[in-house]
Every structure is written in C-alpha cells, then in structure tokens.
Chains A and B, each alone.
Chain A
Amino acid sequence: SQQGEEDPQALSIQEGENATMNCSYKTSINNLQWYRQNSGRGLVHLILIRSNEREKHSGRLRVTLDTSKKSSSLLITASRAADTASYFCATPYTGGFKTIFGAGTRLFVKA
C-alpha cells in the first residue's frame, strides 16, 4: 500500500478562500514533500519539510508536520483560479532512492 494517503480526494472552493489538504503516512521519515500537478503535466515541487521541523512557509503555502501522528497538512491561503491542480504529498523510502506519492487531492478553485 502507499506510504502516503491524502484527504480530501477532491476539494472545490471559491477564489480567495483557504484550502487545506491532509496527508498521512505509515513509516518513519526524515522529510516529507508536497508537489503540484496541473492537468496532464509534470509535477512541480512546492516545499520540503524535515522531520525535525513542525511548520514551514513558502509564500501562500503553509505546511505542518506531526511526526507523532504521522501526518502533514498543506494550507494554501487566498486561493486563486491558477491554484487549480492536483496536490501530492511524497515521502522518501528505501534509503532515499524511492519516492512514494500519496493518492493526491484534486483542488478546483472557482473564479
């Protein structure tokens, strides 16, 4: 089974609202990453949070990590139509070579 599981599977919000996506994982990690994928395109790295960090910010993105609960959340503030995409959490595995992606959250931001 996948290392990372995400919820919700799909999220539809109005422009200007905040969007929160959650990710859970099963084994110990040394970091967790979030990626965005526009429809049918390649993935773009958004942010990496290390296991000794609890929160990290990058522009309108805020990521939290709770290693005791094996979970992470991605918050996008003041969403825009251009934020419409699928968002995946990803964790390294097997000495760092292998990346396991969560099932992903499909975000739709209505203008």
Chain B
Amino acid sequence: DTEVTQTPKHLVMGMTNKKSLKCEQHMGHRAMYWYKQKAKKPPELMFVYSYEKLSINESVPSRFSPECPNSSLLNLHLHALQPEDSALYLCASSQGPFGLAGVSSYHEQFFGPGTRLTVL
C-alpha cells in the first residue's frame, strides 16, 4: 500500500469551531509532515514528526495543534481559526531523512490528496 489518505476531503468551519484533520499511511514511514498550501503557491511546511516525536514546528500559530498517536496516524487539531487559514492542507510521509549509515539524506515524500479547508 503506497497511499497516504486524508479525511475529510473538504471542511467548512466557523471561527469558533473545533475540528480535526486526519492522515494515515501504512508504508512503515517514520517521518510525517503537515503542509499548508494557498492557491497558486507552493506547499509551506508546518510540522514534521519523526518517530512519533515533533521534530519541526515552523512557528505555526497555536490554533493549529498536531498530534501523532502512532506511527501510522497524524492529526491536525484546529481551533479558533481565521479566514486567512483557508487553504489546502496536505499530509505527507517519507522513510525519513536519515540513511542506513546515519548520514543525512532525503527520501521522496508521498503526499495525500489534501483537505480543502474553508474558514467562514
């Protein structure tokens, strides 16, 4: 199974709502990522989890709260969002950045189809 799944596909929420985005992969990847993508822009990294631990937080506002319950699942909890947070949220996974010799390398990332989020 070389697929990354994301739910829901579309989400409309008010600024006072609490919602969660979910991401799942069964490729045995130990690195998982959240990206935010605005229209006609490249994806921007939000968070990186490596071995279920948060490795990178790109100064994301606290109204976005990531969670990695196990090696296959990644959640993004949303609370008190703003209209400017409307975007496509992409999840990705990879084998991890480190090679067998412990040397920093890079593996391709597998992306999910994304969740289109609209904040009213």
A interface list, Cβ under 8 A from B: 2, 30-31, 33, 40-45, 48, 88, 92, 94-99, 101-104, 106
Q: Which B17-58 residues have a C-beta within 8 angstroms of A?
A: 31, 33, 40-43, 45, 48, 50, 55-56
Contact A96:B111 (CB < 8 A) given known A31-B106, A40-B88, A103-B42 = no
Name the B residues within 8 Å of A99 (CB-CB): 33, 45, 106, 109
Name the A residues within 8 Å of B74 (CB-CB): none
User: A98 vs B55: C-alpha distance in the bound complex, in angstroms?
Assistant: 10
> Which of B42, B45, B88 neighbours the largest number of chain A CB atoms within 10 Å of its CB?
B42
How many residue pairs bridge A and B at CB < 8 Å? 64
State whether B111 touches A42 (Cβ < 8 A): yes
Contact residues on B (Cβ < 8 Å of other chain), bracket: 20 to 34
Name the A residues within 8 Å of B116 (CB-CB): 40
Instruction: Select which of B4, B48, B106 is within 8 A of A42 by beta carbon.
Output: B4
Contact A44:B106 (CB < 8 A) given known A95-B97, A96-B98, A99-B45 = no
State whether A40 touches B56 (Cβ < 8 A): no
Instruction: Select which of A43, A92, A96, A97 is within 8 A of B90 by beta carbon.
Output: A43
Instruction: Select which of B48, B104, B110, B111 is within 8 A of A30 by beta carbon.
Output: B104
User: A99 vs B97: C-alpha distance in the bound complex, in angstroms?
Assistant: 10
Other A-B pairs, 4, CB within 8 Å; known A41-B114, A88-B42, A96-B97: A33-B106, A96-B105, A99-B33, A104-B42
Answer yes or no: B108 CB below 8 A from chain A CBs. Answer: yes
State whether A44 touches B111 (Cβ < 8 A): yes
State whether A48 touches B48 (Cβ < 8 A): no
User: A91 vs B20: C-alpha distance in the bound complex, in angstroms?
Assistant: 29
Name the B residues within 8 Å of A103 (CB-CB): 41-42
State whether A43 touches B43 (Cβ < 8 A): yes
State whether B97 touches A43 (Cβ < 8 A): no
User: A98 vs B33: C-alpha distance in the bound complex, in angstroms?
Assistant: 9
State whether A102 touches B104 (Cβ < 8 A): no
User: A9 vs B95: C-alpha distance in the bound complex, in angstroms?
Assistant: 31
State whether A33 touches B108 (Cβ < 8 A): yes
User: A101 vs B92: C-alpha distance in the bound complex, in angstroms?
Assistant: 14
Name the A residues within 8 Å of B92 (CB-CB): 42-43
